[in-house]
Amino acid sequence: MIDRRLFLSCAGIGAGAMLIAPRMALAAVESDRRFVFIIQRGAADGLNIVMPYADPAYARLRGALAGDMAAATKLDGTFALHPALAETAKMFAQRQALFVHAVASPYRDRSHFDGQNVLETGGTQPYQAKDGWLNRLVGMMPGAGDDAIAITSTVPMALRGARQVTSYAPSALPQPSDDLLLRAGRLYAEDPQLHPLWTAALEARGLAAGSGARQDPASLGRLTASFLTKPNGPRIAMLETGGWDTHSGQQGRLAAQLRALDTLLAALRDGLGPAWKETTVLVATEFGRTAAANGTGGTDHGTGSVAWLVGGAVKGGRIVSDWPGLGTGQLYQDRDLKPTMALDALIAGVAAESMALDPQHVARTVFPLAAPVRPVTGLIAA
Amino acid sequence: MPPSASLSPAAIAMNRFGLGARPDDTLPADPKGWLKEQFVRFQPATAAFAALPDAGELVRTYLDEQRQLRRQASREQMASPVAAGTKSIEQKAARRDYAQDVQALYRQAVQARAQAALDTPAPFVERLVHFWSNHFCVSADNPQVTAFAGAFERDAIRPHVLGRFEDMLLAVEHHPAMLIYLNQIQSIGPDSLAAQRAARRNPEQRRGLNENLGREIMELHTLGVRSGYGQGDVTEFARALTGWSVAGIGPGGATDGRPGDFLFRPQLHEPGARTILGKRYGEDGEAQARAALIDFARAPATVTHVATKLARHFAGDAPPPALVERLAASFQRSGGALPALYRALIDSPEPWQPRPLKFKTPWEWTISALRGLGRSEIGAMQVAAIQNQLGQPVWKPGSPAGWDDIAASWAGPDALLRRVDFAQRLVAPVGDRLDARQLGPRLLPASFSRATAEEVGRAESPGDALALLLVSPDFLRR
């Protein structure tokens, strides 16, 4: 039995050095920090991404799904990284990546759609909040205009809300004549729903001009970087990845998913160039998967999972986890990885430090429905 | 939804209930009667759907071919054991050919669906087919599901759209597309005969349940999430479902069924009685899950769930509670007879509000645009590719919840721009034959807004005018 080990290094409330006065925060936003949120839809299996190889229960529960430890990257004495994440492993070695394990949103049931709603709205119950936490974060940024972009055709829930954001995804459709665009704009001028969408769309298309983007992971990474490096472009971006719901055939499918995400992250890093050191990428999923393999080469819906922080601004090279263990009696409802850290607290702290905002203020604004969220700080360089 | 022109009952019947007016449509004098008459006019089997190749046949041929290749490979391997475990060139080629055949079948099925939507004499019922197909969605993201996706709508949805909810439910959950999509064919009772035999052969490899279908039936198809069931109910129902399978696919060895058809495999079924939502199910074999399904179909939670989704589809993103209650009461009274439910909907005031209540999805917008332009043959237009570009690929919602039915999911900046991009292409073949100024009032009888009429009238070409009509606020909504 592995000891219940405390890797937790978050400073929590009262980390004086991390508290930044709001006024300074406003000024600091001008300093070109970037924040990217990547959602993994379908409940990514954290136990197979950051594998607790030293936990003796792991191999017993997983059998053939335990993963290839010989090929995996040992991150520390407890955890190893999935071998498909070659570029991410390099970032970890360069202290530009860290993983938060046994993390979960306040949601404790096992519906993808409710789980994603809670993760994206930042509520405590599904459909309780009508807008997304990322939109509320955008609302804390000074200035007008392009504060955030979704690299998707429509705007995902996390970015919906009072603050106008834009969306853009590479399209194979031919572009219409300028006259048609002009007249369509006039048709929408008096329409409170369509007018802001239209304005945002034209701006995004203008920003994307000449990017020649495609839909593959490397292209999406480069496209996102190209938006984030435009002088007057957005500083917050959101991407969606699907296909994490591995009830069967998990070994091959998860490896392919992770290779794609690894490629995207590397392309984002390379595309951002010098801006990478000002960047935080948060990767999170709605919940984890069962601790045990399900007997059909996959895993079913679970609870605790892993969140990733990647970027030049991340104080990386470590695992942040109050590891609950996988032994008998240590699982949530005898089946899932037990969450020991609140994803809300992580998001609040990371988003605040990434954008040089006051963590307490961000926690209150971005998660107003939760019991007071104690932001996890100290993970991002000031 | 912002206020807009006041909509006439005829415009509502044709656009909100129907699939969009056609330029040659006669105005329904009695809009409610026009909708109800469609129950006798609807054609479950259309020529285009009937002409689809049999997906089962395609799968059978492929499986036979793979079996032969495997036999051949094992003979070769015995002769020369070096290349053990690798797929032969022939096997890879067969898989590639199969994937291409499946894609061709998928595209043909999408064409059939669009064709049915163009020439249906019952556009309201045809819309309901699309509604139910989305409620009970499969997602054609692996070749086997792709092969069956068109057949699923044709065989499990269309014949039951005017029947009883529980019959549609049973047809859906027995269909190979659903059993493959939600991993049911891999699920094995941990104490079943097959699991015991497998454990004797190889004690290392555990075999067991896959909860996916059981959970999604309860959460999405019937009771609805947060309706009071727990993880234990999901697991018990998944145990009851073990043995529900497809002949020729998945574990289970030789079968006497026709590959590609539903097959109950008793050797995979978890023995014993199950307790689900406090009720004991002591039935044997297939009847066990069937009994639970029928109870789910009649449960008050299911009734509310279905009524809410139907109300949302016709009366706005936030379904009016009074309408939901009325629909639920009708569902209960009729024992789940769907025509009674649709009549209750037609007779309710909420779906007749004279302002637009819904932002059209890409599919709704494309179909209504094609109908509005008077197109009667899909012809060479590649509907699958179009829906891909517009963000709603047919039968590929990417999640078992199906496509969202609210404006926020479709009214995005880039998504709006794409419709404008696409409108220009759509009108190209008819741009010089149709006058948008006359067409507008025909498609939205007594409801075409003055602002749109003015802008359409000022366009620099007839084609641009038509494209503007299709992307006008009036036409983007229903």
pLDDT tens digit sequence for B98-111 = 889 899 999 999 99
Q: Do B211 and A112 touch (CB under 8 A)?
A: no
Q: Do A205 and B467 touch (CB under 8 A)?
A: no
Q: Do B418 and A187 touch (CB under 8 A)?
A: no
| Of the partner residues A110, A186, A293, the one whose CB lies closest to the CB of residue B206 | A293
| Of the partner residues B210, B451, B458, the one whose CB lies closest to the CB of residue A248 | B210
Q: Do A204 and B413 touch (CB under 8 A)?
A: yes
Neighboring chain B residues of A298 at a CB cutoff of 8 Å: 183, 210
Q: Do A187 and B204 touch (CB under 8 A)?
A: no
Q: Do B211 and A194 touch (CB under 8 A)?
A: no
| Of the partner residues B186, B204, B412, the one whose CB lies closest to the CB of residue A197 | B412
Chain A nearest CA to B452, separation (Å): 7
Q: Do B399 and A242 touch (CB under 8 A)?
A: yes
End-to-end CA distance of chain A: 38
Structure-block tokens of residue B22: 């056609």
Neighboring chain B residues of A126 at a CB cutoff of 8 Å: 225-226
* pLDDT at residue B260 tops 90: no
Look at residue A21 in the predicted model and tell me its pLDDT.
25
Cβ-Cβ contacts under 8 Å between A and B: the total is 178
* pLDDT at residue B25 tops 70: yes
H-type helices in chain A, by residue range? 22-29, 46-49, 56-62, 86-93, 112-121, 133-138, 178-188, 194-208, 217-229, 250-272, 343-354, 359-366
Look at residue B204 in the predicted model and tell me its pLDDT.
77
Mean pLDDT in residue range B62-66: 81
Mean pLDDT over the full length of chain B:
93
Task: Label the pairing between strands A34-40 and A236-241.
Answer: parallel
* pLDDT at residue A11 tops 50: no
Chain A nearest CA to B122, separation (Å): 31
Mean pLDDT in residue range A293-313: 97
Q: Do A194 and B473 touch (CB under 8 A)?
A: yes
Q: Do B410 and A113 touch (CB under 8 A)?
A: no
Neighboring chain A residues of B431 at a CB cutoff of 8 Å: none
Neighboring chain B residues of A177 at a CB cutoff of 8 Å: 424, 464
pLDDT band at B86 (very low <50, low <70, confident <90, very high): low
Task: Label the pairing between strands A73-74 and A80-81.
Answer: antiparallel
Q: Do B399 and A64 touch (CB under 8 A)?
A: no
User: What is the Cα–Cα distance from B281 to B287, expressed in whole angstroms?
Assistant: 9
Q: Do B468 and A183 touch (CB under 8 A)?
A: yes
Look at residue B248 in the predicted model and tell me its pLDDT.
85
| Of the partner residues A179, A201, A301, the one whose CB lies closest to the CB of residue B413 | A201
* pLDDT at residue A7 tops 80: no
Chain A nearest CA to B119, separation (Å): 27
Q: Per mean pLDDT, which range of A258-267, B36-45, B243-252, B329-338 is the poorest?
A: B243-252
Chain B nearest CA to A297, separation (Å): 8
* pLDDT at residue B434 tops 60: yes
Look at residue B92 in the predicted model and tell me its pLDDT.
84
| Of the partner residues B219, B464, B473, the one whose CB lies closest to the CB of residue A180 | B464
**DSSP class per residue in B193-225:** HHHHHHHHH-TTS------HHHHHIIIIISS-T
Q: Percent of chain A at pLDDT above 90?
A: 77
Angle between helices A86-93 and A250-272 (to 10 degrees): 50
CB atoms within 10 A of CB B273: 12
Cβ(A380)–Cβ(A43) under 8 Å? Answer: no
Chain A nearest CA to B33, separation (Å): 34
Chain B nearest CA to A263, separation (Å): 22
Label each residue of B421-456 as H, E or C: HHHHHHHCCCCCCCCHHHHHHHHCCCCCCHHHHHHH
Q: Do B412 and A153 touch (CB under 8 A)?
A: yes
Residue B340 bridge partners (DSSP) = none
* pLDDT at residue A362 tops 60: yes
Q: Percent of chain B at pLDDT above 90?
A: 79
Q: Percent of chain B at pLDDT above 70?
A: 96
Q: Do B231 and A110 touch (CB under 8 A)?
A: yes
| Of the partner residues B226, B401, B413, the one whose CB lies closest to the CB of residue A200 | B413
Look at residue A174 in the predicted model and tell me its pLDDT.
80
Task: Label the pairing between strands A166-167 and A148-150.
Answer: parallel
User: What is the Cα–Cα distance from B60 to B357, expressed in whole angstroms?
Assistant: 46
Q: Cα-flanking dihedrals φ and ψ of residue A371, to 5°? A: -60, 155
Q: Do B211 and A247 touch (CB under 8 A)?
A: yes
Mean pLDDT in residue range A367-373: 89
Chain A nearest CA to B101, separation (Å): 23
Which residue of chain A is at minimal alpha-carbon distance from B458? A183
Cβ(B95)–Cβ(B70) under 8 Å? Answer: no
Q: Do A294 and B417 touch (CB under 8 A)?
A: no
Strands (E), A260-320: 279-285, 305-310, 318-320
pLDDT band at A171 (very low <50, low <70, confident <90, very high): confident
**Selected residue with higher pLDDT from A29 and B35:** B35
Q: Cα-flanking dihedrals φ and ψ of residue B31, to 5°? A: -55, -40
* pLDDT at residue B428 tops 50: yes
Q: Do A153 and B414 touch (CB under 8 A)?
A: yes
Look at residue B68 in the predicted model and tell me its pLDDT.
83
Chain A nearest CA to B232, separation (Å): 10
Q: Do B407 and A193 touch (CB under 8 A)?
A: yes
Look at residue B79 in the predicted model and tell me its pLDDT.
73
Mean pLDDT over the full length of chain A:
88
Q: Do B207 and A248 touch (CB under 8 A)?
A: no
Q: DSSP assignment, residue B264?
A: E
CA nearest B12: which of B98, B172, B165, B127? B127
Q: Cα-flanking dihedrals φ and ψ of residue B473, to 5°? A: -55, -35
* pLDDT at residue B251 tops 80: no
Look at residue B75 in the predicted model and tell me its pLDDT.
79
* pLDDT at residue A8 tops 50: no
User: What is the Cα–Cα distance from B473 to A352, expressed in whole angstroms?
Assistant: 39
CA nearest B127: which of B478, B378, B476? B478
User: What is the Cα–Cα distance from B67 to B65, expressed in whole angstroms?
Assistant: 5
Q: Do B183 and A296 touch (CB under 8 A)?
A: yes
- With H, G, I as helix, E, B as strand and everything else as coil, classify residue A282: strand
Mean pLDDT in residue range A196-220: 85
What's the predicted TM-score (pTM) here? 0.88
Look at residue B5 in the predicted model and tell me its pLDDT.
61
Q: Do B452 and A187 touch (CB under 8 A)?
A: yes
Look at residue A143 in the predicted model and tell me its pLDDT.
65
User: What is the Cα–Cα distance from B478 to B359, expressed in whole angstroms?
Assistant: 6
User: What is the Cα–Cα distance from A144 to B151, expressed in whole angstroms?
Assistant: 51
Chain B nearest CA to A64, separation (Å): 8
Q: pLDDT digits over B261-295, tens only? A: 999 999 999 999 999 999 999 999 999 999 999 99
Cβ(A271)–Cβ(A222) under 8 Å? Answer: yes
User: What is the Cα–Cα distance from A305 to A125, expressed in whole angstroms?
Assistant: 19
| Of the partner residues A126, A175, A190, the one whose CB lies closest to the CB of residue B421 | A175
User: What is the Cα–Cα distance from B344 to B409, expressed in whole angstroms?
Assistant: 28
| Of the partner residues B412, B451, B468, the one whose CB lies closest to the CB of residue A154 | B412
A279: CB partners within 8 A, 6+ apart:
A33, A34, A35, A36, A228, A268, A272, A311, A312, A313
Chain A nearest CA to B329, separation (Å): 25
Chain A nearest CA to B464, separation (Å): 6
Neighboring chain A residues of B359 at a CB cutoff of 8 Å: 193
Q: Tokens 């970037």: give the residue.
A: A34
Mean pLDDT in residue range B380-399: 94
Mean pLDDT in residue range B345-349: 98
H-type helices in A100-171, by residue range? 112-121, 133-138
Q: Tokens 């090929």: give the residue.
A: A71
Q: Do B416 and A192 touch (CB under 8 A)?
A: no
Neighboring chain A residues of B412 at a CB cutoff of 8 Å: 150, 152-155, 167, 197
Which residue of chain A is at minimal alpha-carbon distance from B404? A113
Element (H, E) at B468: helix B462-471
Element (H, E) at B41: helix B31-41
A206: CB partners within 8 A, 6+ apart:
none
Mean pLDDT in residue range A48-57: 97
Neighboring chain B residues of A188 at a CB cutoff of 8 Å: 473
Look at residue B253 in the predicted model and tell me its pLDDT.
63
